[in-house]
Structure 1
Amino acid sequence: MARPDLNLLVTLDVLLEEGSVTRAGERLALSPSAMSRALARLRRATGDPLLVRAGRGLVPTPRALELRARVRGLVQEAEEVLRPAEKLDLATLERTFTLRSSDGFVERFGPALVAMVGRQAPGVRLRLTRKTRKDVGPLRDGGVDLETGVVEHAMPPDVLSRPLFTDRFIGVVRRKHPLSTGKVTPARYASSRHVHVSRRGLTEGLVDEALRPTGRRREIVTVVDGFGAALALAKASDLVATVPERHTANLRRGMCSFELPFRAPEVTVSLLWHVRLDADPAHRWLRDCVIGVCLRETGTEGTDGQAREPEEPGPGAAQATS
């Protein structure tokens, strides 16, 4: 079956409103002959004369009167669909967003983010979930709106990202641990018992690569899948946890932190989202909220030293290349 020409709906709407081929043609910038051909096509499509002569004018048939309201509604809906989105009204916005992040992100940045969103858009609900593995599937299928993480490789073209902050690793021990006093040397650090963080269960990582030039190796006795678990073990034992400094600020309260006695590994935490949401005003606003909170909480506001709450949705960020 041939697909109907939907442009004829606009023509029919104007014809039924004007009741005149001439006036309808003037509104649509069509010649009388072009309008007559359009009316003929409409008659063939609907199987009805639609407009018939009555004296010197045209009158609608019962079928035309039946279609008038429906056609008007369809045309109006089409115009709404093709019209640019209206300005975002945060006061009336009602929507649930899912943000997936690594262990520690919610504890560090969640309170400020929830407070900012609550002030600006009381009807918005945040669903904060923990990332258990690296995959872009949830972003693609709509299960996740935003995600934070370290971009290790070039992202696929349908996933965009924006750097949030750079973090460096530090050592953390309980109070009164031997490493809580005195100078921490590579020998003292390496000879201690360590808890290592790896979602994939690996027994070495960036820290071990950075330590290797000193000729030392860590004694890793425990592997966990999150920073929170590593710090909990370190707080209750003589284990040493090596974790990102900014990411775990809240989790490290009540513990002793120290700089690593070798060149500390650094990672850049980024915000990721799917390209289909890039132009969505509400999604842009939430991205700006996350970015603003991270800048303020990590003290990396920018050249003017100000971390401002977003008032209007900002432009989409460029695609990550690393």
Structure 2
Amino acid sequence: MSTPDLNLLVTLDVLLAEGSVAGAARRLRLSPSAMSRALARLRETTGDPLLVRAGRGLVATPRALDLRERVNQLVQEAEAVLRPAEALDLRALVRTFTLRTSEGFVETFGPGLLERAGREAPGVRLRFMQKADKESASLRDGTVDLETGVIGNTTGPEVRVQALFRDRFVGVVRTGHPLCRGEMTAARYAAGSHVVASRRGADKGPIDEALKPLGLEREVGTVVGGFATALALARASDLIASVPERHTEGLRAGMHSFRLPMPEPEITVSLLWHPRLDGDLAHRWLRRCVRDVCGAFTPPDCA
């Protein structure tokens, strides 16, 4: 079966409203002959005469009368779909957004984001999903609406990226740790036993590269999968955790944080989304909320 020409719906809507080939032609800016040909196609497609002559005019058949309201509604809905998006009514918005991010990001920025969303759009629910890797498949298939993190080699080339903020690594130890006292030097820092956070299980990273020019190497006591776990171990032992400052502000509460005693490796945390959501007004609002909340947060200075 061949696909029907949906343009005929507009023609049929105007013909049924005008009840006249000439009137419909004027309204659609077509010649009378072109409109007559369109009516012939409609009759062939529907299997009904639709409009039949009665004296000098045309009258609608029972089938045409039955179709008139339905066709008009379909045309109006189609025009609404193709019309540029209207202003978003946040108070009436009902939607669930899924954000894939780290535990530290949720701990630090989640409360502000939830407060902002609840105040502006009470019908919106935010669902946070743990970020286990940097693959872009979940953005591509629509499982995730937004993602935050550092751009990696596995980030899809089509993914939209916008920088949120720059972060730096800080050292963290339990209260009462020997490193809480005395001058912090690169040698003292490197000599301690370290817990390294790496999703891939690597025991080397940017911090080790920063220590190399100083002729120093960290003593790695253990490797874990994330910053939250690294901090939990450091809180309960003499391990030294090195974590992003802004991401872990809440997780480091009650612990001693210090600036690294060597050139600090920095990272750029970005917002990622799929291009199909570029023009979605609700998604634009959510992206603006995340940017504003991250931009308004100022972490306390390390001792």
Q: Is the 8 A contact 1:192 1:240 kept in 2?
A: yes
For residues 6 and 43 of structure 1, the distance between their equivalents in structure 2, rounded to whole angstroms, comes to 14
Counterpart amino acid of residue 169 in structure 1? F
**Structure 1 unaligned residues grouped into runs of 5+:** 300-322
Tell me how many residue pairs correspond in the alignment: 299
Name the counterpart of 2:159.
159
Query: Shift in Å at residue 247 of structure 1?
Result: 1.1
- Which aligned pairs between 1:275-314 and structure 2 lie closer than 5 A? 275-298=275-298
Alpha-carbon distance in structure 2 between the residues aligned to 1:46 and 1:95: 40
Aligned 8 A contact 2:135 2:154 in 1:
no
* CA displacement, residues 178-206 of structure 1 (integer Å, 9 cap, x when unaligned): 11111111221111111000011111111
2:133 and 2:199 in contact (8 A); partners too? yes
Report which stretch shifted further, 153-162 or 54-63: 153-162
What is the CA–CA distance in structure 1 between the aligned matches of 2:96 and 2:222, rounded to whole Å?
38
| 1:81 shift after superposition | 1.2
How far does residue 155 in structure 1 lie from its aligned partner after superposition? 4.7
Partner of 2:134: 134
How far apart are the structure 2 equivalents of 1:64 and 1:146?
48
Q: Which moved more, 1:267-276 or 1:25-34?
A: 25-34
> Residue type matched to 1:4 in 2?
P
**TM-score, length-scaled by structure 2:** 0.95
In the aligned structure 2, how far is the partner of 1:140 from the partner of 1:110?
A: 24
The 8 Å contact of residues 177 and 238 in structure 2, kept in 1 or not, is answered as yes
Once residues 20 and 186 of structure 1 are traced to their aligned partners in structure 2, the CA distance between those partners, rounded to angstroms, is 89
Q: How does 1:221-236 map to 2 (within 5 A)?
A: 221-236=221-236
Q: For residues 9-59 of structure 1, what are the alpha-carbon distances to aligned partners after superposition, in whole Å with 9 as ceiling and x for unaligned?
A: 111111111111111111111111111111111112222221111111111
> In the alignment, what sits opposite 2:65?
65
Give the letter aligned to residue 166 of structure 1.
R
| Equivalent in the alignment of 2:26 | 26
Q: Contact 1:165–1:298 (CA<8 Å) still a contact in 2?
A: no
CA separation in 2, counterparts of 1:88 and 1:12?
33
Partner of 1:210: 210
Conserved 8 A contact 1:147-1:271: yes
Q: Secondary structure at the match of 1:286?
A: helix
Alpha-carbon contact 2:168-2:267 (below 8 Å) kept: yes
Q: What amino acid sits opposite 1:106 in the alignment?
A: V
Does the CA contact (< 8 Å) of 2:135 and 2:156 recur in 1? no
CA deviation string 1:84-130 (max 9, x = no partner) = 22210111111000111123101111111111111111110000121
Measure how far apart 1:63 and its partner are. 2.0
Residue 269 (structure 1) aligns with: 269
Displacement after TM superposition at 1:156 (Å): 3.2
- Contact in 2 for aligned 1:184/1:261 (Cα 8 Å): yes
Contact persistence 2:169–2:242 (CA under 8 A): yes
State the distance in 1 between where 2:42 and 2:253 align. 74
Stretches of 4+ aligned residues off by more than 6 angstroms: none
Correspondence for 2:88: 88
Cα offset for 1:154?
Answer: 8.6
Between the aligned partners of 1:249 and 1:167, the Cα distance in structure 2 is: 11
Q: Which deviates more, 5-14 or 271-280?
A: 5-14
Calculate percent identity across the aligned residue pairs: 67
Kindly state the Cα deviation for residue 157 of structure 1 after the two structures are TM-superposed. Answer: 3.7
| 8 A Cα contact 2:134 2:154, kept in partner | no
What SS class does the counterpart of residue 91 from structure 1 fall into? helix
Instruction: Give the C-alpha shift of residue 67 in structure 1.
Output: 1.8
Q: State how far apart, in whole Å, the 1-side matches of 2:6 and 2:175 are.
A: 74
The alpha-carbon deviation at position 153 of structure 1 amounts to: 4.2
> Residues 122-201 of structure 1 correspond to what in structure 2 (within 5 A)?
122-153=122-153, 155-201=155-201
Q: What is residue 254 of structure 2 aligned with on the other side?
A: 254
Indicate the residue corresponding to 2:243 in structure 1.
243
Deviations 1:112-165 (A, max 9, x none): 111111111111000012101110011011111000000134953421011011
Task: In structure 1, give the amino acid aligned to 2:239.
Answer: L
Cα root mean square deviation, aligned: 1.3
